[in-house]
């Protein structure tokens, strides 16, 4: 098409541009509108069905939401999550450092750890630790069952599991840092510790925080698995109630809402953590 074709087009009325330049009209996306209407209708249907279904017994949910036993269960879930995350990432960071070291023995052991603990389902692992007394009836003269109560077993099992995943998350973060950064730090005479803490880790954190946030939320919910070994977490505490009162659904809703609330708070925290580690990543100030 020659440029004549364009200049000969009539000007659209009401445009402020040069008289011979036609106005741009965006494509009408009727399909998008239709999809939005369908989705909103289905959503409204779902919400009204939940609110109008008497069997949810929202009054029972409200009655149990802040009872002592539920709050004690919530508290255990929260601190268990915090302890498992802290210990898991501490061990995971060591494993990542070992995997990236020049020492082939350390590299091999780290790889083997991750392979083993990613291979065993967490439920199987918890049951194994819970029954470890069958393998080792006494440890240093103390009965194993006395030494390893359900909460200790939960911490050990979840931490070992968590560390395997944390190791890969931390290793990925470190690998995402450009090799030139370490060389520049070496050329400037910065010590190994300073290079790690001041140069590599802050940059690695950008790649570590999103999957770590994912893991934190996963761990929070994952701790509910410890209810199978009778640890009194959030899920177990509502189970104790509904085994007595048979109000299964409303009490599961109590746990559901609490898990959702805590997850939301954690997501907000992750957002601010990501912003902090994005310093210098943007071109504009």
Partner 1 sequence: MSVMVDIRSVHKSFGPLDVLKGIDLQVRTGEVTVVLGPSGSGKSTLLRTINHLEKVDRGAISVDGALIGYRRSGDKLHELPEREVLKQRTRIGFVFQNFNLFPHLTVLENVIEAPVAALKRPRDQAVATARRLLERVGLADKADAYPRQLSGGQQQRVAIARALALEPKLLLFDEPTSALDPELVGEVLDVIKDLAHQGTTMIVVTHEIGFAREVADTVVFMDDGRIVEQGPPAEVLDRPRHERTRAFLSKVL
Binding residues for partner 1, rule: CB under 8 A, are: 178, 180-181, 183-192, 194, 198-199, 202-203, 277, 279-285
Nearer to partner 1, 8 or 285 (CB): 285
Rounded alpha-carbon distances, angstroms, from residue 41 to 36, 48, 220, 228: 9, 11, 33, 39
CB of 175 to partner 1, least distance (A): 17
> Closer to partner 1 at the Cβ: 143 or 194?
194
Asked if residue 190 lies in contact with residue 198, where contact means CB atoms within 8 angstroms, the answer is yes
Whole-angstrom Cα distance, residue 228 to residue 239?
Answer: 11
Which of 201, 249 has the CB closer to partner 1?
Answer: 201
Separation of alpha carbons 228 and 126, rounded Å: 9
The answer to whether the beta carbons of residues 74 and 256 sit under 8 Å apart is: no
Q: Which residue has the tokens 């996306």?
A: 29
Strands (E) located in 131-281: 138-139, 142-143
Q: How far is the CB of 282 from partner 1 (least distance, A)?
A: 7
**Pick 204 or 253: Cβ nearer partner 1:** 204
Closest approach of partner 1 to the CB of residue 280, in Å: 4
184: left (phi over 0), alpha (psi -120 to 50) or beta: alpha
| Cα 237-231-70 angle, rounded to 5 deg | 20
| Minimum CB–partner distance for residue 98 and partner 1 (Å) | 19
**Smallest distance from the beta carbon of 36 to partner 1, in angstroms?**
38
Taking the complex as a whole, the smallest distance from the CB of residue 188 to partner 1 amounts, in Å, to 4
Looking at the Cβ atoms of 5 and 284, the one nearer to partner 1 is 284
Residue among 118 and 197 whose Cβ is closer to partner 1: 197
């Amino acid at each position: 098409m020659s440029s004549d074709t364009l200049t000969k087009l009539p000007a659209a009325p009401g445009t402020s541009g040069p008289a011979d330049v036609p106005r741009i009209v965006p494509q009408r996306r009727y399909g998008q509108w239709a999809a939005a209407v369908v989705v909103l209708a289905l959503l409204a249907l779902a919400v009204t069905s939940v609110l109008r279904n008497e069997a949810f017994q929202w009054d029972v949910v409200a009655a149990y939401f802040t009872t002592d036993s539920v709050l004690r269960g919530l508290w255990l879930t929260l601190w268990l999550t915090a302890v498992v995350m802290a210990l898991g990432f501490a061990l995971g960071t060591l494993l990542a450092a070992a995997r990236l070291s020049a020492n082939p023995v350390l590299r091999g052991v780290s790889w083997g750890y991750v392979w083993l603990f990613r291979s065993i389902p967490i439920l199987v692992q918890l049951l194994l630790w819970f029954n470890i007394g069958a393998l080792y009836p006494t440890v240093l003269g103390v009965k194993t069952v006395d030494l390893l109560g359900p909460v200790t077993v939960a911490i050990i099992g979840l931490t070992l599991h968590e560390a395997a995943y944390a190791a890969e998350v931390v290793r990925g973060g470190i690998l995402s840092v450009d090799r030139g950064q370490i060389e520049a730090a070496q050329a400037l005479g910065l010590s190994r510790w300073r290079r790690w803490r001041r140069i590599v880790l802050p940059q690695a954190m950008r790649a570590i925080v999103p999957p770590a946030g994912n893991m934190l939320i996963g761990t929070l919910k994952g701790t509910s698995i410890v209810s199978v070994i009778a640890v009194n977490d959030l899920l177990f505490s509502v189970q104790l109630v509904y085994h007595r009162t048979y109000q299964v659904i409303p009490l599961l809703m109590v746990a559901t809402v609490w898990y959702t609330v805590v997850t939301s708070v954690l997501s907000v925290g992750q957002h601010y953590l990501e912003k902090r580690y994005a310093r210098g990543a943007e071109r504009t100030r």
